[in-house]
């Protein structure tokens, strides 16, 4: 039993070592309550390997433009949001979640509906790109 466990752990470590690029998981988009307004995208990015990765853009054929943003407590405790040029993933994990880092999606296709998916491509400074299907969530629906 001990040998089998050691073999499984060894295999998992070898597979992890083979992973070269960043991995994007748990991607989802909150659609706007009012058509024509921006949507927001969220995901978790794992560095995947030993390289330091830097997220520089998110694109999709279903949106006109995307901006990386970060929410923070502003003057008087009011929440504010500001665009950011890049997000260092380093060799760890970065989460894009409501109330923190997120991607603002402008010019969202009117064909997108809750319950569907939309392709999002996460582009990194080292020219790597990862495309995932993000779940679409309605404005008043709970997060997945």
pTM: 0.82
* 103-135: burial string, b at 16+ Cβ within 10 Å, e else: bbbeebeeebeeeeebebebbbeeeeebebebb
Greatest CA span in the chain, whole angstroms?
A: 59
Quick: pLDDT tens for 10-26.
444 444 445 578 999 99
Pairing of strands 93-96, 129-137: unpaired
pLDDT per residue as tens digits for the range 64-85 = 999 999 988 777 777 778 889 9
């Amino acid at each position: 039993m001990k040998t089998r466990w050691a073999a499984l752990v060894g295999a998992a470590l070898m597979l992890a070592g083979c992973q070269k690029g960043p991995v994007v998981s748990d991607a989802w988009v909150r659609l706007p309550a009012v058509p024509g307004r921006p949507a927001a995208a969220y995901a978790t990015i794992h560095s995947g390997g030993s390289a330091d990765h830097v997220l520089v853009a998110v694109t999709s054929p279903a949106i006109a433009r995307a901006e990386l943003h970060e929410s923070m407590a502003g003057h008087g405790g009011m929440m504010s949001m500001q665009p950011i040029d890049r997000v260092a993933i380093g060799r760890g994990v970065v989460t894009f979640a409501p109330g923190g880092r997120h991607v603002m999606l402008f010019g969202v296709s009117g064909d997108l509906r809750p319950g569907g998916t939309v392709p999002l491509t996460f582009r990194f400074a080292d020219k790597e790109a990862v495309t995932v299907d993000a779940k679409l969530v309605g404005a008043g629906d709970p997060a997945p």
